């Protein structure tokens, strides 16, 4: 009986010592995952902004230089 209780005590002690270490490892991994998620979101927002500016640049290329071409374009394509 004495040997079993000693083994049980050592097992409980080992788990008690490992618990804070596991907690810290999980916290570090969670922080890294959160940082990665934020960086991914920022990259996606930056890509969307660059796509928007590319579309705006393409739209400005099709700008109408004079009044008669504007009238013709509106008659053909409408608003």
48-71: pLDDT as tens digits: 999 999 988 877 667 777 888 888
Give the angle subtended at the CA of 27 by the CAs of 29 and 37, to the nearest 5°: 50
- Which helix (H) or strand (E) segment holds residue 60: the answer is helix 2-61
Digit-coded pLDDT (tens) for 10-34: 999 999 999 999 999 999 999 999 9
Question: CA–CA distance from 59 to each of 30, 37, 62 (Å)?
Answer: 43, 33, 5
């Amino acid at each position: 009986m004495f040997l079993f209780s000693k083994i049980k005590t050592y097992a409980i002690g080992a788990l008690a010592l490992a618990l804070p270490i596991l907690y810290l490892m999980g916290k570090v991994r969670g922080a890294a995952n959160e940082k990665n998620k934020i960086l991914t979101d920022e990259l996606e927002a930056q890509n969307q902004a660059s796509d928007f500016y590319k579309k705006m640049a393409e739209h400005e290329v099709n700008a109408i230089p004079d009044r008669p071409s504007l009238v013709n374009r509106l008659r053909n394509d409408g608003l």
